[in-house]
């Protein structure tokens, strides 16, 4: 009876070691990457600009596969790797100077890099020293109330 118990424990240990090794190897095979490129010249200050990126599965089986804040590199691009292959809704929210939000559908393929170009609108940084409010001179004699007959 003792030998049967040792045999069962030995078989379970071997089975669990094989299951762990097989699962790690297959996960990296089905991963891809995405590169987001922003096309505006004033998006290059990475200390003030950051981007929140959320990947949701297209078949609605997984929300927030990637949900992270990224900072653009010198060439105004963001490279995201280790994304499981599949079709995704991608939400891109610019934080900082730009406050734009984009939603795209992309397909990530295994061992390939999907490229996505995003065009940003022009915007200027607010500085209270650069604000000019023109003076307004109102002529109260030309109001509609004053010219009624």
Between CA 33 and CA 37, with CA 34 as vertex, the angle to 5 degrees is 150
Q: Whole-prediction pTM value?
A: 0.63
Q: Residues with Cβ < 8 Å from 39, sequence gap 6 or more?
A: 76, 117, 118, 119, 120
Mean pLDDT for the stretch of residues 79-84: 91
Report yes or no: 39 and 121 within 8 Å, Cβ to Cβ. Answer: no
Q: Is the pLDDT of residue 24 over 60?
A: no
Mean pLDDT for the stretch of residues 72-95: 90
Residue 5, φ and ψ in degrees, nearest 5? -65, -45
* CA–CA dist 5, 17 (Å, integer): 19
* CA–CA dist 102, 142 (Å, integer): 48
* CA–CA dist 132, 144 (Å, integer): 30
How many angstroms separate the Cα of 93 from the Cα of each of 1, 45, 46?
Answer: 64, 16, 15
Q: What is the pLDDT of residues 87-101, one digit of tens each?
A: 999 999 998 888 889
Instruction: Quote the DSSP letter at residue 134.
Output: -
SS3 31: strand
Q: What is the pLDDT of residues 102-116, one digit of tens each?
A: 999 999 999 899 999
* CA–CA dist 83, 139 (Å, integer): 65
* CA–CA dist 18, 138 (Å, integer): 85
Report yes or no: 11 and 4 within 8 Å, Cβ to Cβ. Answer: no
The helix (run of H) or strand (run of E) holding residue 21 is: helix 2-29
List of domains in the chain: 28-119 (2.60.40.1120)
Task: Tell me the average pLDDT of the chain.
Answer: 81
């Amino acid at each position: 009876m003792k030998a049967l118990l040792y045999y069962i424990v030995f078989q379970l240990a071997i089975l669990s070691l094989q299951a762990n090794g097989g699962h790690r190897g297959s996960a990296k095979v089905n991963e891809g990457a995405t590169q987001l490129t922003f096309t505006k010249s004033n998006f290059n200050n990475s200390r003030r600009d950051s981007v929140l990126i959320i990947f949701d599965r297209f078949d609605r089986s997984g929300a927030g596969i990637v949900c992270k804040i990224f900072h653009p590199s010198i060439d105004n691009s963001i490279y995201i790797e280790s994304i499981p292959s599949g079709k995704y809704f991608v939400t891109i929210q610019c934080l900082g100077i730009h406050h734009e939000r984009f939603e795209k559908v992309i397909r990530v393929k295994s061992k390939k890099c999907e490229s996505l170009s995003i065009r940003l609108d022009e915007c200027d940084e607010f500085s209270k020293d650069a604000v000019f409010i023109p003076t307004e001179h109102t002529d109260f004699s030309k109001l509609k109330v004053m010219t009624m007959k």
